[in-house]
Structure 1
């Protein structure tokens, strides 16, 4: 006589539950690793990149291309390639690193940047305006300082800026009362205390007339040039604050419509033509 399987049904049920639980844990771990080191979703909150990117666009950000940062450390994984001029980048906002910002990289470490009558020049060569970039405000004339412009006490404005040198690792810069507004945040970011006593700059309590930059920096601007809080207002972007490169829009709708109170109108606002849009 063939022996029947006498394993209790409850035991099979517990085994299946454990297998499902293990599968869910593995899936969660894999998803977390992908989000931390490979690809992360990002929502466009403002119109600073219009019309290239719209408020309400959801996009994927490639994090491993520039070398993803290991959480809670300063360690970065090997990168595939360096940031290039024209890349649309996501980064930690230097004035509040709990926030992610998205802009276009305009200048690289070591570049000379200047804006003349809204036209950007990199190393004295015209940097072409991105295809969907726009100006929505009145043009400001040269020599008229703009409130909150970087560096403070300069006569720069959003349309006429510089020339300014983008710091790179190994650069030796001159420190004085005149140049301190340009380098104060950079020196502090690199772990030093900086102060001005009379006309003399002190770094870590010592009088210094020269300072050697220890990191690479970038200059970023929004495509919506008159509605963008970018490097013209907060300064140099440290390489270590780079999060990743924008890849593709996977979802888009009107962010101003509340889905709770009017779900039909919210669904009707879906921008189907932007699904799968490659970002460049």
Structure 2
């Protein structure tokens, strides 16, 4: 190879390398700020979404979060009731969850005999939602339900107001279980001794909420670890809105141990399905 040919080859290699670097940077920016892929790991949203569905999540719509900061880009829209949202699980932010937002900041939520009410109005069950478990009667307390020591259960819940930024809430033994985790998550030290609640070491009777909160539930109402069990969803933990399923197959089949079975389990009819 002549010197000229070698120089040309190096130039072409550098151009390809530069193109790959630019493409990688562009793909990273898209993933962080615009759209990201998400895999449905459980059946909590069945039959709306199935375990093994792969979907695109719109991160731009609610204002994508800048990595390693608390800053968000301007939002194109707000979270609305009925949106299917992806968020960081407030109890373990290394995990991403997907649920349906059923109530927004300031809403009054109640479930009576499995029927959801928001601000006193009944809310229709989503088209593909389902109940697969035994119905629980009113007053049959469930120790797993939020808040602790309440008489709520999965089928009879509330009424409960979803906190909004600027709300002033009462601090007393009756409300401690309702707001203590929220207040601690907002960066304060909260404790109770007898009838007195202490906030950052000072006796307090009230607290001003610093963030907006939401209430999320799975469409598979009897098989969903959602807000009924762990409480309010902070706005800062919301990552984006589910858009479209681009791939789907049986997650229980192994591509390596049973490649034919895995490929035969592809759900072609779900490809391109809009999420709603």
- TM-score under structure 1 normalisation? 0.97
Shift of the alpha carbon at 1:206? 0.4
| Aligned equivalent of 2:141, options 140, 145, 165 | 145
Question: Paired residue for 1:35?
Answer: 31
Q: Is the 8 A contact 2:48 2:219 kept in 1?
A: yes
Q: How many matched pairs? A: 275
Shift of the alpha carbon at 1:214? 0.9
Question: Paired residue for 2:214?
Answer: 218
Residue 174 (structure 1) aligned with residue 170 (structure 2): yes
- TM-score under structure 2 normalisation? 0.99
Residue 104 (structure 1) aligned with residue 73 (structure 2): no
Q: Separation in 1 of the partners of 2:30 and 2:107? A: 34
Give unmatched runs, 5+ long, in structure 2: none
Q: Separation in 1 of the partners of 2:14 and 2:198? A: 63
Shift of the alpha carbon at 1:147? 2.6
Question: Paired residue for 1:95?
Answer: 91
Compute the RMSD of aligned alpha carbons.
0.7
Shift of the alpha carbon at 1:8? 1.7
Superposition map of 1:95-244 within 5 A: 95-244=91-240
Q: Is the 8 A contact 2:45 2:99 kept in 1?
A: yes
Q: Separation in 1 of the partners of 2:108 and 2:4? A: 76
Q: Separation in 2 of the partners of 1:209 and 1:180? A: 11
- Structure of larger gyration radius: 1
Q: Separation in 2 of the partners of 1:214 and 1:268? A: 50
Shift of the alpha carbon at 1:7? 5.5
Q: Separation in 1 of the partners of 2:178 and 2:93? A: 20
Q: Separation in 2 of the partners of 1:128 and 1:38? A: 31
